[in-house]
Structure 1
Amino acid sequence: MADIQYNSKEIVILGAGGLGREIHSWIQNDKNTTYRISGFRDDNFSSLDMYGLRDMLLGSLSSVEDRENVLIGIMDCDFKSSLFENLKKKNQIEICGYIHESVIVGIRSNFGEGVVLFPKVVISCDVEIGDATFINLGSQIGHDVRIGNCVSIMPNVDLGGGVVIEDNVFIGTGATILPGVKIPENSRIGAGSVVVKSIKKSGTFFGNPARKIF
């Protein structure tokens, strides 16, 4: 895990929206990473125009080249999952991860390919995080937590000890998942929600305590 972003290489950020640009900014200001960003790939690049970054557009998401080093900066879980699977079929594509220098990681915690951890995230001991999962600013992940593939966790989320988050789950800003709770795949947890017991069937949940709304 410690060497996740310390091998010097040129990388391409997949996604040119807010998340992709945030990743770009954190890497640019991180003294501990040796990544060099060559640009973005996306089908919608309007925000690059808005912020004067159009010259960093390298092409569409479908134009990823063989032997390219990529970092996924996409929040939508379903789209991210589809993109990840397509990338795995290409020749010699390396899906890179990024851990900001301020992140705290406990012992015996393991990460899959393409994990992105933003500043001030705290990962406790014995945590497992799957491929292409993203955790935003200030979130706290308790001991023995299991997080699946292509999960997106927004800022200031608190996952209690022993929580299980299955694949393609989105967790909104400030949500709390109490210890031992399980969230099934493809679920959506609204901002500020408190999940007090395991969810049996996928859906969209909101409130305190969280209830299914869709």
Structure 2
Amino acid sequence: MEDIQFSKINVDIIGAGGLARELLSWINKDEHAFMKINGFWDDNLEALMPYEMTHEVLGNIAAFQSGNVLMGIMNPHVKEKILEGFARNTSINVLSFFHSSIILGERTNIGKGVILFPNVIVSCDVNIGDGTFINLGSQIGHDVKIGNNVSIMPNVDIGGGCVIGDNVFIGSGATILPGVKIERNTRIGAGAVILKTIKKEGTYFGNPAKKIF
């Protein structure tokens, strides 16, 4: 029987920093990712100078006017602003990328422009908003609601029934206990343990986590 050949779609990555280059790496390593990356779009070329880029930086983000894109931006507020601009341009198609190693439970609803890195586990009855990024090995419990433009770093454990507001950043190895709600625009530090609901936005560190800023 003749092998079926699948053509890859052309995609650009918004951002060219560490997260964007990681994203490119996982796409290249995943035989089920039928994407051909053209290059990066980034506004901070000076910050990229120490790195050897395997793909061309094609220009500033505002210059991108049409085509398929993946979001390689970590900062939730920057990501939100870019996606708001793209939403006004019908020629730009914001794609999602789910690595083939992830596990998704039943009745999981996932928005537009979501990135799920390898070995992410999402339980049942979970809602994930637009523009959200979940890094390596993080676990999302049942009945969790995650807002738009959230960035979750590696090995984060979010317990069942949690509600994560828009534009939240959760650092590596953080633990969010079941039923906790986190106010929008909040930053959770690496390794923090969140025992109770966070009602005031800010930056939280420690075990148990306390508001630092």
Same fold by TM-score greater than 0.5: yes
- Structure 1 residue 88, shift from structure 2 partner: 0.5
The verdict on how the C-alpha distance between 1:212 and 1:81 changes in structure 2, with shifts beyond 3 A counting, is same
Residue identity opposite 1:13 in structure 2: I
Deviations 1:33-59 (A, max 9, x none): 111111100012356554432751111
Matched pairs, number: 208
- Structure 2 unaligned runs (5+)? 1-5
Q: Distance in 1 between matches of 2:49 and 2:73?
A: 18
State the match for 1:135 in structure 2. Answer: 134
- Structure 1 residue 110, shift from structure 2 partner: 1.1
State the match for 1:3 in structure 2. Answer: none
State the match for 1:23 in structure 2. Answer: 23
Aligned partner of residue 22 in structure 2, secondary structure? helix
TM value normalised by structure 1: 0.93
CA RMSD of aligned residues (A): 1.5
State the match for 1:165 in structure 2. Answer: 164
Aligned partner of residue 39 in structure 2, secondary structure? strand
Q: Are the aligned partners of 2:40 and 2:56 in contact in 1 as well (CA < 8 Å)?
A: yes
Q: Distance in 1 between matches of 2:46 and 2:52?
A: 10
The verdict on how the C-alpha distance between 1:151 and 1:55 changes in structure 2, with shifts beyond 3 A counting, is closer
- Structure 1 unaligned runs (5+)? 1-5
The verdict on how the C-alpha distance between 1:201 and 1:47 changes in structure 2, with shifts beyond 3 A counting, is closer
- Residues 1:84 and 2:83 are matched in the alignment: yes
- Runs of 4+ in structure 1 displaced over 3 angstroms? 45-52
TM value normalised by structure 2: 0.93
Q: Are the aligned partners of 2:40 and 2:55 in contact in 1 as well (CA < 8 Å)?
A: no
Aligned partner of residue 112 in structure 2, secondary structure? coil
State the match for 1:65 in structure 2. Answer: 65
Q: Are the aligned partners of 1:17 and 1:45 in contact in 2 as well (CA < 8 Å)?
A: no
- Residues 1:33 and 2:33 are matched in the alignment: yes
Aligned partner of residue 11 in structure 1, secondary structure? strand
Q: Are the aligned partners of 1:48 and 1:54 in contact in 2 as well (CA < 8 Å)?
A: no
Deviations 1:60-97 (A, max 9, x none): 1111123x101010001111111110110112211001
- Residues 1:43 and 2:46 are matched in the alignment: no
